[in-house]
Amino acid sequence: MVNRMKVCVITFVIAACLLVPFFGGCAARQKAVSLYVDAVMLNEQKQYDQAVEKLNAAVELNKDFTLSYSLLGEIYRQMQQYEKSADAYEAATVLNPWSFEDYFNLGGVRQVMKKFVLAVKAYVKACELRPDHLQAHINTAQCYYELRDYNRALMYCEQAERINPNHSRVQDLAGEIYEQQKNYEMAIRSYKRSLEVDSNNPDVMVSLAVAYLKTNRNEPAKELLVSALEIQPRNSTAYQYLGYCYLRLENVEKAIDSYSRSIEIDDRDWEAHRGLGVAYILKAINSKDQAEKTQLRERALKQWQVSLDIKPDQPRRERLLKLIEKYSG
């Protein structure tokens, strides 16, 4: 990256010197180039504030200095000043509408800011300029996914797959899109292909397990979740889904253990608290000891209340409130 930038600077400086006789205000242009070269060096030394000063001065001298805007965008992004970075990249795209890098970087900054509509606009242009660029298509699909425009997300995901069918993130993202469309068979297919490429990815294992659970394939879901936990023992999400899986398999004791482990890792997991409450109630129903029944009911009520405290607006809230009312008496 640094070497390419240096080559770019040298080329620009030579061109600027050769073209001096043909332009008015050549002294100002030469000064702008000099300031830009200084900014490149300062950026390499991570002296970002000084680099920004040089670039702003260069832009004042030459409003059409595209490279200055591009470098400003890069530096502001490194400084996490994303609004300024986006403004700089956008100015660069206006001056040079054929610049893939500026559109791609503009999309990236907008994506970080969660301004997905604007990010998509930049990424789509980047994809038009470079139809073979894998990451541009993946990022476009991801942004459409965030916007819940699943058809367009899938379209760009399919284009990314044509560029590289063996990229695990492409398959993983396709699985997520299919899942949102409730096309679980296609989601399972995509997650499986992702695991063929990256067989030890616990996140994909969990995603595939969830898709299995949604199609009532509880045993393969359990096996995947156990495998994910062997790779990543502190994966609270895997424990949470394993608890749910054990409930389906009518193994209440293991469900309690799995939910409890999930909460030990992440005590803000409202779904784990809710699931643990269900497991305690099921154990209470099957218990023949009255004292144990009472104790288990109290534990269930406590877990449900914690779940509501963490996420008061959770899905199926009314159903949980009815359960709390039923077992509070």
Tell whether 270 is covered by a domain.
Answer: no
DSSP state of 97: T
Q: What is the pLDDT of residue 280?
A: 97
Can you read off the two tokens belonging to residue 72?
């400003």
As a whole number of angstroms, the distance between CA 169 and CA 198 comes to: 9
Q: Given a cut of 60, is residue 14 above it in pLDDT?
A: no
Q: Given a cut of 50, is residue 21 above it in pLDDT?
A: no
Q: What is the pLDDT of residue 165?
A: 87
Q: Given a cut of 90, is residue 75 above it in pLDDT?
A: yes
As a whole number of angstroms, the distance between CA 195 and CA 208 comes to: 9
Tell whether 43 is covered by a domain.
Answer: yes
Arithmetic mean of pLDDT, 21-31: 62
Q: What is the pLDDT of residue 29?
A: 80
**N- to C-terminal Cα distance for the chain?**
68
Q: Given a cut of 80, is residue 24 above it in pLDDT?
A: no
Tell whether 21 is covered by a domain.
Answer: yes
Tell whether 45 is covered by a domain.
Answer: yes
Question: Residue 69 maps to which CATH number?
Answer: 1.25.40.10
Q: Which residues contact 168 (CB under 8 A, 6 or more apart)?
A: 194, 195, 197, 198, 201, 204
Q: Which domain holds residue 29?
A: 1-96
Q: What is the pLDDT of residue 273?
A: 97
Q: List the single range of 37-51, 146-160, 208-222 with lowest mean pLDDT.
A: 37-51
Question: DSSP labels for 164-183?
Answer: -TT-HHHHHHHHHHHHHTT-
Q: Which residues contact 226 (CB under 8 A, 6 or more apart)?
A: 242
Q: Given a cut of 50, is residue 5 above it in pLDDT?
A: no
Alpha helices by DSSP H, 79-149: 82-95, 100-112, 116-129, 134-146
Domain count, the chain: 1
Is residue 88 left, alpha or beta, with left meaning phi > 0 and alpha meaning psi from -120 to 50? alpha
Alpha helices by DSSP H, 181-316: 184-197, 202-214, 218-231, 236-248, 252-265, 270-286, 290-310
Q: What is the pLDDT of residue 30?
A: 84
Rg (CA), the chain: 28
The helix or strand, by DSSP H or E, that contains position 156, with its residue range, turns out to be helix 150-163
Tell whether 266 is covered by a domain.
Answer: no
Tell whether 58 is covered by a domain.
Answer: yes
- Please report which confidence band the pLDDT of residue 2 belongs to, taking 50, 70 and 90 as the band edges: very low
Tell whether 44 is covered by a domain.
Answer: yes
Tell whether 66 is covered by a domain.
Answer: yes
- Please report which confidence band the pLDDT of residue 32 belongs to, taking 50, 70 and 90 as the band edges: confident
